[in-house]
Each structure stands twice: as C-alpha cells, then as structure tokens.
Amino acid sequence: MARRIRRALAAGTVIAFAAAAAMAYTAVLTTAGPAPVPRLTRSPWADYWQVAGAATGSGPVLFAVTAAIYAACLAAAAPRRGRR
C-alpha cells in the first residue's frame, strides 16, 4: 500500500514538473519582453501567488493543474475494492 502511494507521488511529481515546464514555455512564447519584477510585501500568501505566477503567467492555474495531476495519480493508485 505504501509503495503504491510513493509511486503515485513520484509519478505526480514528474508529470507536474513537465506540465509546469510546458506552461512556462508557452508563457514565454506568448509574452513580449521581460517579466516585470515582483513587488514583495509582508504577506506570505500574496508573495507566494505572485512568485508562483511569474513563470507561468497564472499562479492559481498552476496550482489547480498540479492539484489535479496529484489527485489523478493518487486515485489511480488507490486500492480497488471488489470481490475476488
């Protein structure tokens, strides 16, 4: 059971990294000029969303895609309950 979860998390990490790289690459292709310098504040949550969105263009979208990838990998690794 634990081995299944570890494999699912490892697969999710690889797939999420590939998806983030693809999103960053397409953001670079569609952006003209350099990205603006992020203005950091004293709010860690606002700073995180601003920095996370810098490479891909949208922090919440990147978070949603990553969460969906991990959910799908963990759902695929879940044990099947059925009669044998």
pLDDT tens for each residue of 41-58: 888 888 777 777 766 767
Structure tokens at 65: 């895609």
Q: Is the pTM of this model over 0.85?
A: no
pLDDT tier, 84 (very low <50, low <70, confident <90, very high otherwise): low
* Domain layout of the chain by residue ranges: 2-77
Q: What are the Cα distances from residue 22, in Å, to 25, 27, 28, 53, 76? A: 5, 9, 10, 14, 23
What one-character DSSP code corresponds to residue 41?
-
Which pLDDT band, with edges at 50, 70 and 90, does 70 fall under?
very high
**In 3D, which of 51, 53, 59, 56 has the Cα closest to residue 29?**
56
Kindly indicate the confidence band of residue 82, based on its pLDDT and cuts at 50, 70 and 90: low
Taking alpha carbons only, the member of 76, 65, 59 closest to residue 10 is 76
Instruction: Give kind and range of the element (H or E) at residue 75.
Output: helix 59-77
Confidence of residue 33 (pLDDT cuts 50, 70, 90): low
Examine the pLDDT at 14 and tell me if it is beyond 90. Answer: yes
Cβ neighbours of 57 (radius 10 Å): 16
